[in-house]
Structure 1
Amino acid sequence: MANTIYFDEAGYTGNHLMDPDQRFFAYGSVVTSDEEAKEFVESLIRRYNIQNGELKGGKLVSHHKGRKAIDEILREFHGRLLVTVSDKKYTLACKLFEYIFEPSISDINSLFYGVGFHRFIANILYMEFMARGAGAEQIFDEFQDLMRRPDDGKLGALFSASKHPDNSPVITQIREFAQYRAADIKEEVESLAESSVGKWVLDVTNSSLHSLLAHWGTKYDVITAICDNSKPLQESGEFFKIMVGNEQRLKGGFAGNEHPMTFNLSGPLEFRDSKTCHGIQLADAVAGAAVHVLGGGTDDHAKRWRELLPEMSILNILPDKDELDLRLGTARRNVVLLNELHARAKNGQDLIEGMPLLIARLTHRLNLPPIPRPVG
């Protein structure tokens, strides 16, 4: 028998990850049944006099009674809820690595992922942006604009507006690398324009749902997934259809940091209106609580939820300043790799030739653990 799981989001802005009023995105999930969810939600609405007869996380966190209702949800469904959260600007920085750097190093990308070079670049960009470093915000704006409209001819002027006399050395290197390797980026971006994937390439709804389903798949043999109406999910439903009837349990990532990749769906994703689907309302409330916590909520409820969040969240996309700590050999190794890639791109040299040996020598010289091997 399939276990029914309901999903909904909070902080959704689609492909616009630079929205100043919605810094975080959360995707929540709750394991329950229609009957249990209906009874519980109607009880909350009645006892807390919730307006419009519907639980909406964004509204509940704004007043004391609503936060008490969320408290009850977290207690009642403890062990049956999961959420994944994303800092949108950091997510955009991760996407920038994926579409600016990776096309040029795709033949050995697992090596760069294994040493955390992607996290290093994403955290540098994020920290520069948050510190309002000259050119950082323009790079984010130009990249987001390019990815949202990959077919409008703006690639030729990539990052031209971000050139600034006060650019930090690292912003200069990243901007120039993109310009030197514009042909690789152009090929990648043009492939997006020709596919349905390109329309939602910056949206994190699909990846968030996949992460949650994969983790639930380690607990339940078969899952019935019920989601709130979502254009990104509805337009990419084919991706999830391959998991219908799938009994394989595969993992991905790197040795020591593996994560589940597959799950077994009882059928295609089901979409319902949150107004009439009480399970989706519960997932909405869980996601809203996570966004409230990450957004800096200071009320007593937020303080308690902040302690709960690590236990109930998985595969979050959040910055980590330790990736830039030059006291650590891993960060120093990645500084050298960025310098090397920039120099090769500037001189028109092959980016891959001899790179595995260079990384091995750096790893040995800095007395770092062996580079983990990819899993799956």
Structure 2
Amino acid sequence: MECYRIDESGYTGFDLLNQEQPFQGATAIAIEDDEAARLILEHFPRLQAAELKYRALSRRKGNHPRLLALMRDILSHHKCVTHVCDKRFLLLLKFLDYAVEPFYYERGIDFYENGQNYSLASILYYIGPQLLGDQAMASLERAFQDAMKLKTPAALAKLVACAQQTKWQELPEAMGPLARFAAPECLGAIATPGATTDIALVIVVALITRMEAMSDGPYRVEHDQSKNLLTYHDVLQRQIDHVGNAEFRQSQIASIRFPLKLTAVTQVDSKRSPAVQLADIMIGAAIEMTQRLSNRISDGLDPQTVMALYAEDQIIYMLPSLDIEGQMAFRNGTQASALIDYYAKHFSR
């Protein structure tokens, strides 16, 4: 049975405003350990470390050509997908999910139609500080994250107060439900047990969507035993255990169908799994590339060279974009609202 090896990077749990790790992502590679070991030996014959780690290798420029050659071999000869998210953008999408959408839902409006939530989150990301006030916007984001975690009356009241302290009239579509109405349906959604800003589910769903499309039949997943990946493990297992029949369109190129072809998920020691080590290389390079393209860091592999290695269907970005028409066309006909309801019903704790 085909096996995908997964590794992640940038996981900070509920905290999506972590300045040191602004991006989060994961890679899945369909490769066997013996083939992975062969590739590691071919490209790093003098490696003395017990485990192949991207961060350690990328620090030395002498390793850059070998890393690029290894990545080229992986992407050219093996099924592989990488997903990278901007965590602040995901926080703003969560804000719209919990602090805005319930207000429209109560009034019979499909807030997710044609992906307009992505467009509004992009506006908040890029233009929000200018429209609403730089400090006020930062305070609002922090207050929302805290309210989602703490779920106390005091945290919810602080969130409403922060919304009211913005120039909310400049963007009432997003800010009105809290700032003008302190909408109880929104506050109730934020206070719901189990509702969180953790985006492991978002990344797992993206990987599953591609693994399901790439696999002709049943497949399984192995991942590292790290504490971070325990969250991914739980999310994967719950979806494996689900036996319902359903299908949802997510965009022009993505859909997900239940039951999944995925049949099992297991944890392994990455030191004993060359295949998982290759997943570490791929996600490490992708996160570094995104950091460099956004001018957050200057060291590492040349980002344009790395980007050129990928085919369109081998990397998924969830980043803000002010190409509003393009975004809405890409998500025209999306069944996001129905998918969210389905996940809330079947996969929430």
Matches for 1:117-266 after TM superposition, within 5 Å: 117-128=116-127, 133-151=134-152, 153-161=154-162, 163-164=164-165, 167=167, 169-170=169-170, 174-179=174-179, 180-191=181-192, 193=193, 195=194, 198=195, 201-220=196-215, 221-229=217-225, 230-242=229-241, 250-253=247-250, 256=252, 258-262=254-258, 263-266=260-263
- Which shows bigger deviation, 169-178 or 54-63? 169-178
1:330 to partner: Cα distance: 9.5
- Is 1:75 aligned with 2:72? yes
Contact 1:252 1:259 in 2 (8 A): yes
Q: Show the counterpart of 1:321.
A: 322
Contact 1:85 1:290 in 2 (8 A): yes
Q: Show the counterpart of 1:8.
A: 7
Taking only the aligned residue pairs, the percentage that are identical comes to 19
Alpha-carbon RMSD = 3.2
Instruction: Give the counterpart letter for 1:308 in structure 2.
Output: L
1:286 to partner: Cα distance: 0.4
1:124 to partner: Cα distance: 1.8
Structure 2 CA distance for partners of 1:279 and 1:102, relative to 1, 3 Å: same
- Is 1:64 aligned with 2:25? no
Structure 2 CA distance for partners of 1:39 and 1:109, relative to 1, 3 Å: farther
TM-score, normalised to structure 1's length?
0.74
User: Greater Rg, structure 1 or structure 2?
Assistant: 1
1:9 to partner: Cα distance: 1.0
- Which shows bigger deviation, 256-265 or 27-36? 256-265
Gaps of 5+ in 2: 339-349
Contact 1:110 1:374 in 2 (8 A): no
Q: Provide the secondary structure at the position in 2 that maps to 1:143.
A: helix
Instruction: Give the counterpart letter for 1:142 in structure 2.
Output: A
Q: Provide the secondary structure at the position in 2 that maps to 1:295.
A: helix
1:14 to partner: Cα distance: 1.7
Q: Could you tell me how far apart the structure 2 residues matched to 1:105 and 1:63 are?
A: 52
Deviations 1:152-176 (A, max 9, x none): 74112224245547x3643566444
Structure 2 CA distance for partners of 1:313 and 1:98, relative to 1, 3 Å: farther
Q: Show the counterpart of 2:91.
A: 92
Q: Show the counterpart of 2:270.
A: 274
Instruction: Give the counterpart letter for 1:219 in structure 2.
Output: M
Q: Could you tell me how far apart the structure 2 residues matched to 1:107 and 1:316 are?
A: 31
Contact 1:29 1:82 in 2 (8 A): yes
Contact 1:26 1:85 in 2 (8 A): yes
1:75 to partner: Cα distance: 1.8
Contact 1:290 1:309 in 2 (8 A): no
Q: Show the counterpart of 2:303.
A: 302
Aligned length: 320
Contact 2:169 2:176 in 1 (8 A): no
Q: Could you tell me how far apart the structure 2 residues matched to 1:306 and 1:29 are?
A: 17
Deviations 1:328-369 (A, max 9, x none): 6999xxxxxxxxxxxxxxxxxxxxxxxxxxxxxxxxxxxx9x
Structure 2 CA distance for partners of 1:208 and 1:61, relative to 1, 3 Å: same
Contact 1:61 1:292 in 2 (8 A): no
Q: Show the counterpart of 1:342.
A: none
